[in-house]
Amino acid sequence: MASTPSPITLPRAPKVGMVSLGCPKALVDSERILTRLRADGYAMSADYAGADVVLVNTCGFLDSAKEESLAAIGEAIAENGRVIVTGCLGNEAEAIRARFPAVLAVTGAHQYEAVVEAVHEAAPPSMGPYVDLIPQADAGDVKLTPRHYSYLKISEGCNHTCAFCIIPSLRGKLASRRIDAVLREAEKLVAAGTRELLVISQDTSAYGVDVRHEERMWQGRSVRTHMTDLARELGQLRTPGGETPWVRLHYVYPYPHVDAVIPLMAQGLVTPYLDIPFQHASPSVLRAMKRPANEAKVLERLKAWREICPDIAIRSSFVVGFPGETEADFQYLLDWLDEAQLDRVGAFRFEPVAGAAANALPDPVPEAVKEERYARIMEKTESISAAKLAAKIGRTVRVIIDEVGEPDEDGDIGATARSEADAPEIDGAVYLRDVSADLQPGDFADVLIEDADAHDLYGVITAAS
C-alpha cells in the first residue's frame, strides 16, 4: 500500500511595508507599486517589525516636505534597517545615500519597474507552481484609500515652467495615459465599490495635448484623449446599484475648453466641483511666477459658470510672500478674493525650493511679512467660507458617508460625511447626528443642514441610499 505523501509546505510570502508621503499623485504611485508587488506574491505589512523590506515613497516639492521625507527614511532605517527609497526626492539619490548609506536602493518618481526590481533583489519573491497557480481577486488592486473613493491618475508630468515649481524636473513633461486605459480602470474601480472618482494629474486640463488628443475606441465608439471627452465618459459610469458615481476634477488649469465641462456638471454627470490652482491674482506677481495673468477674465468666467451651474464649488490655492510681492499686490489678491467668492481656499507661504527659478528673483519678502500676510488671507477666506456655508442652513444637500461612529451613552450614532463641495482630506466635512446603525461608508444620503461654521456643516439625514 502506497504511503500518503507529506503535505507540501508553501513558502512564506515576503512582506513589504510602505510609508507614503506627499500628494494624491504619490498615493496613486504607491497603490500601483503595491498592486504589482502583490501580483508577484508579496504580502503587505502594517508595521516595521513584520516587513522584510520597507518602501518610503517620498515628496520633494518643498524643503519642508524634503525634511519630512528624510525623517521618514531615518525612522524606517532605525526601525527596520532594510529600506528602499522612491518618489520625488529619489531624484536626489546622492544626497540620500550620503545621509543614509544603509538604504538598499533609491529610485525616482513613477519608476515602477525599478522599484519592483529593487524589492525583488532585497527580498526575492516566493515563486513556484504552488504559488503561481493561486488566482488573484478580480478587484485585486491594492488601495490605500477607503473602498468608496479612488484617485484616478490620467497623466504624469507637466509642460508648464512656473518659477516656484520643480515638478517638470522631477516628473518630466506631460505624458497622458491612453483614454481607453483610464476608462477601463475607472470602470473596474466603480464595479468594485468606488462611488467617488477623484481625477488627478499635474495638469488635468492639458490631458491629451502630448498625443494630439488621439482617438481610441471605447464601448464601441471613438473617444478623444481630452478632458471634456473623459469627463463625459466618466459621467456614463454607474455603480452596481445603478447610481452615478461622483466624478471630481482636480488640478484644472482654466483653459477655455474647461467651459465645456460646466454643462456636464449641470446635468449631474460630473460633480460640480473644480480644483483650480490660481496661485495669485496680482498681474505682476503672476508674471513673475510665469503664470497666466488674466485674472479679470477669470472672474467673468466664474460668473458664467455659476449661471450655468449655480451649485458649482471652486477650490484653489494661493502663494503669499512670493519674491517681489508688494503690499499693493497682496491687497489686490484680497480684493480679488472678495469678488471671486471661492468656496474652498488653501494658502501657503512661499518657500524656496532647490532648483526653482524663483530662488534667483530679487526682493525676497521677509518671513515676518509672510506670516502676517498668511494670517490675513486665512482670515479673509474663512469669512467668505463661513458666509457661504451659513447660506446652506435649511437646505437639503447630497453627501457621501466617510465614517460612522460608535453609539454614545444614549445610544445615538454620529457620522462624518462630505458634500459635493468637499474633496477628501483637503476640504470640510458634514457632521451628522442620529444616524441609523445600518449606515455604511460609501452610502449616499440627503441631509438637511441645521448649522454651519467657517469650514464644516452639521445636519441630519432625510434619506439614504
| CATH 2.40.50.140, the chain: domain bounds | 396-464
Per-residue H/E/C for the chain: CCCCCCCCCCCCCCEEEEEECCCHHHHHHHHHHHHHHHHCCCEECCCCCCCCEEEEEECCCCHHHHHHHHHHHHHHHHHCCCEEEEEHHHHHHHHHHHHCCCCCEECCCCCHHHHHHHHHHHCCCCCCHHHHCCCCCCCCCCCCCCCCEEEEECEECCCCCCCCCCHHHHHCCCEECCHHHHHHHHHHHHHCCCCEEEEECCCHHHCCHHHCCCEEEECCEEEECCHHHHHHHHCCCCCCCCCCCEEEECCCCCCHHHHHHHHHHHCCCCCCEEECCCECCCHHHHHHHCCCCCHHHHHHHHHHHHHHCCCCEEEEEEEECCCCCCHHHHHHHHHHHHHHCCCEEEEEECCCCCCCHHHHCCCCCCHHHHHHHHHHHHHHHHHHHHHHHHCCCCCEEEEEEEEECCCCCCCCCCEEEEECCCCCCCCCCEEECCCCCCCCCCCEEEEEEEEECCCCEEEEEEEEC
> Residue ranges of the chain with pLDDT lower than 50?
1-4, 8, 128-139
Q: How high is the pLDDT of residue 295?
A: 63
Contact present, 313 and 343 (Cβ < 8 Å) = yes
| CATH 3.40.50.12160, the chain: domain bounds | 15-132
From the candidate CATH numbers 2.40.50.140, 3.90.226.10, 3.30.360.10, 2.60.40.420, the one assigned to the domain spanning 396-464: 2.40.50.140
Helical packing angle, 327-340 and 367-390, nearest 10°: 10
| CATH 3.80.30.20, the chain: domain bounds | 149-390
CB atoms within 10 A of CB 41: 17
- CATH level 2 (architecture), domain 149-390: Alpha-Beta Horseshoe (3.80)
Q: How high is the pLDDT of residue 40?
A: 74
The Cα 301–Cα 49 span in angstroms is 54
Class for the domain spanning 15-132: alpha beta
Q: How high is the pLDDT of residue 64?
A: 84
The Cα 350–Cα 330 span in angstroms is 13
pLDDT tens by residue, 231-263 = 999 999 999 999 999 999 999 999 999 999 999
Q: What percent of the chain has pLDDT over 70?
A: 92
Q: How high is the pLDDT of residue 386?
A: 97
218: number of CA atoms within 13 Å, CB side?
23
